[in-house]
Chains A and B, each alone.
Chain A
Amino acid sequence: MKYGLVLYIFLMLPPVANLAESVMAIHMHMQMTLFVVVGVLMAPLYQKIFARFFEKWNSNGVPGILLFMVILGYWLLPRTMDEALSIPAVELFKFISLPFLAGVPLRDSWGKLSNVGKNTLYVLLSVIFGGMAWLYIASPVQLCNNYLIIEQKTLGWGFVFFAVSIMIYFISTLIIDPSDYE
């Protein structure tokens, strides 16, 4: 909780936010990811305060994951990145939505998901990221007003790594059974 709050404030400091947003790949892959991490770190507090709420609305984890996916999907679009830079209200929405509508539900849902649910999420995420990689690398035109084509391609390669990392982790959970070792 404490760390989450410290990280949250740090990320929103204007110089830090400006620096992170000045590079497309850092904007999406570091800043936005870290905002989700903020939510993940802070989740236990909200789970305690709103225990009833989470129990009622997120009993099997699926609604939470859906919300997570919607928010994630929204912020994957080039257009939203642009608006976050030029419209203060959207920037504010980014600061709020990623931690509280993506990070918190992710943590709350993760433990409740079945193995099939988790595996589906791994696959879905790596497929989506793979698709984003293809979009950003192959696109012949500039997709964001604020970022050059070269930055776009860089972001695309970042997505490749993201997708591959998730895939490696996913495959390792399939072939390595911790109960064989622990």
Chain B
Amino acid sequence: MEAVAKKTMKQKVNNVLGANPLDARFSIALFIVAFIAFFIGGVLGLLQGLNRAGILELPTWLNYYQVLSAHGVLLVLVFSTTFTIGYFYAALSHTLGGLLSKVRKLGWIGFGSMVVGVVFVATTIIMGDASVMYTFYPPMAASGWFYVGLVFLVIGIWLCAFGAFINVADWRKKHKGQHISLLAFFAVGVFVLLFFGSIGVTIEVLMIIPWAFGWTDTINVLLSRTLFWSFGHTLVNIWYLTAVSTWYIAIPKIIGGRQWSDTLTRLVVILLVVLNITGGFHHQIVDPGITEGIKFMHVFMSLSIGFPSLMTAFAMFAIFERSGRKKGAKGLLGWIKKLPWGDVRFLAPMIAMIAFIPAGAGGIAQTNNQLNTVVHNSMWVVGHFHLTLGVTVVLSFFGVAYWLIPHLTGRVLTPQMNKLGVIQTLVWTVGMALMSGAMHYVGLFGSPRRTSYTTYGDNATALGWDPYLLLLAVGGTLLMVGVVLMVYIAFNLMFFAPKGQTEFQIAEPEENAAPTPKWTERWTLWIVLMILVVSMAYVIPVVDMIVNAPPGSPPFRTW
């Protein structure tokens, strides 16, 4: 009881003072980069959409694959990562009583390193020397400088991760016997994954650099792909974990409810961290050179991530129903009406969650060998990740932006801005529904992904795709409107919205909650377990790939 009283007191103090201005500046800097990347990436997305519909022919100095590489890199690597780090650093600052000054410094150095990395990457893509898509695996080879840029990006991420660890360790030393806040716990999970998940890709990039510069002749393609996906897949789940953190912590507050069980939520985080990295193989179901037995084993490894996801779904419904009933909802579904649908801070992440139902179902389908062969490398896959990433993750992030940015800048979300946000959310939802729906559908009819518009010499099947591709372009155009609105809102909240206090949205724990057990904080144990799971999954196939490798591949420039 005393602890609770003390905590609310601290929160009150925090609310009066607002965010620590030095920490806020860091997060805002990351958000600025994130939304600039989002804007440029969105414009490029529209170009692709219009091209795929056969409406727009791209000029020779800006070809489809160059645009596609930039779109992927800017949205997947830059936007998502910078937003995630900005959000969690704000969370650490808020819940742990401010960042340590050395951590802030580390963060800025990491930020600088990331910016340098992005400059290298963007420059090589613009020069047309790096149309290798955001997956950048061999045998396609970009200019070596592209990969050097990636190294800077990874170093930046690592510095930010270590900053977070240092801050959390320091706090726990000063607060013996207490638990770090749930949000900080999510942050630790995310940074652990960011660090360990990027070790594989770092090894890959260090193999590629001498090869791309011509110092080595050949490279092991399958190994590179495997190392890439150990990272690529983990990154996907990092965004998911980030989105989930807002569902567990911010949403209950916004709808006037309370958190779900603290212990079980922490268990979800631990499970996602331990089980995650090994899922990478489901991106390689069609790759030759990996035996059937291994692929079979990995179906289970992929599906095991479904368990914490289902726990999350259950938790969300429990939160909604409880808070609805407290407001006097009657009947089986009466609580639905009690939810604050007009509040964009709720609406955006709510749609994000709803979208995850079909998105998750699609993912479970794809991870099965037979079904995967139907959709592999077709537009279906592009539809899938525009639903998971483009809706579930992105709308959750936007939901955060509506209160976190004004909290950091000492401003408020006005009712007009809220309304514009609701419009943005609806435009985005309809746009993605059209685009992603069309992508899923046309993928089932065989339209390939990562392919500039072509009718294959007026082949009847290819011509049959046209109506869907047109629908894709319509959705993409709506999305462009959504991009403009969102970027406008974000910068408005940063620099122009009226001054005022905005609260950091953190729900209170359940009433009469049981104390959280200590074992949840045993991070070394979770990390060792994670390493064991990773080695169980990777040692056998990777040794096979290295020892029984076919002749390596020289670099190819296919564009």
A-side residues, CB < 8 A to B, are 23, 25-26, 29-30, 150, 153-154, 157-158, 161-162, 164-165, 168-169, 172-173, 176, 179-182
Interface size class of B (residues with CB under 8 A): 20 to 34
Residue of B whose beta carbon sits closest to that of A149: B547
In the complex, the answer to whether A23 meets B176 with C-beta atoms within 8 Å is no
| Cβ B528 vs Cβ A153 within 8 A | no
Of all chain B residues, the one with the shortest Cβ separation from A175 is B524
| CB–CB B528/A158 < 8 A | no
Cα A136 to Cα B524 in complex, Å, equals: 28
Q: A150-B547, A176-B524, A182-B177 are in contact. Are A25 and B540 (CB under 8 A)?
A: yes
A29-B536, A182-B176 known; A154 vs B531 contact (CB < 8 Å): no
Q: Knowing A180-B176, A181-B172 touch, does A153 contact B543 (C-beta < 8 A)?
A: yes
Q: A150-B547, A153-B543, A161-B535 are in contact. List 8 more A-B contacts (CB 8 A).
A: A23-B540, A25-B539, A30-B536, A179-B176, A180-B172, A181-B173, A181-B177, A181-B521
Complex interface: chain A residues within 8 A of B177 (CB): 181-182
> In the assembled complex, which residues on chain B have CB atoms less than 8 Å from the CB atom of A164?
531
**With contacts A150-B547, A181-B173, A181-B176 known, is A161 near B540, CB below 8 A?**
no
Residue among B173, B521, B531, B536 making CB contact with A168, cutoff 8 Å: B531
How far is it, in angstroms, between the C-alpha of A165 and the C-alpha of B527 when the chains are bound? 9
How far is B548's CA from A150's CA once the two chains are assembled, in angstroms? 8
B524 touches A165 (CB 8 A): no
* CA A64 to CA B221, docked complex, whole Å: 49
Task: Give chain A residues whose Cβ lies under 8 Å from the Cβ of B521.
Answer: 181-182
- For the complex, give the distance between the alpha carbons of A150 and B544 in Å: 7
Q: How far does the alpha carbon of A164 sit from the alpha carbon of B534 in the complex, in Å? A: 13
Residues of B near A169 (CB, < 8 A) are 524-525, 528
Residue of A nearest to B175 (CB): A181
CA distance A154 to B536 in the complex (A): 11
Q: Is the interface of A mostly helix, strand, loop or mixed?
A: helix
- Which residue on B lies nearest to A22, using beta carbons? B293
Instruction: Confirm or deny: B58 has a beta carbon within 8 angstroms of a beta carbon on chain A.
Output: no
- Is the C-beta of B357 less than 8 angstroms from some C-beta in chain A? no
In angstroms, how far is the closest chain B Cβ from the Cβ of A114?
Answer: 21
User: How would residues 532 to 559 of chain B score, 1 for a CB under 8 Å from any chain A CB and 0 otherwise?
Assistant: 1001100110111001100000000000
Nearest-neighbour CB distance to chain B for A95, whole angstroms, equals 21
Report chain A residues within 8 Å CB of B169. Answer: 181
- Chain B residues with Cβ below 8 Å from A154 are 539-540, 543-544
B518 within 8 A of A: yes
Complex alpha-carbon distance, A164 and B527, angstroms: 12
* Contact of A168 with B528 at beta-carbon distance under 8 Å, contacts A30-B536, A154-B543 already known: yes
A173: chain B residues within 8 A (beta carbon): 524
Q: Is the CB of A158 within 8 A of B535?
A: yes
* B176 contacts A161, C-beta separation under 8 Å: no
Contacts of B535 in A (CB 8 A): 158, 161-162, 165
B531 touches A161 (CB 8 A): yes
For the complex, what is the distance from the CA of A169 to the CA of B543, rounded to whole Å? 24
Q: Name the residue on A nearest B297 (C-beta).
A: A26
Find out whether the CB atom of A180 lies under 8 angstroms from the CB atom of B173: yes
Chain A residues with Cβ below 8 Å from B293 are 23
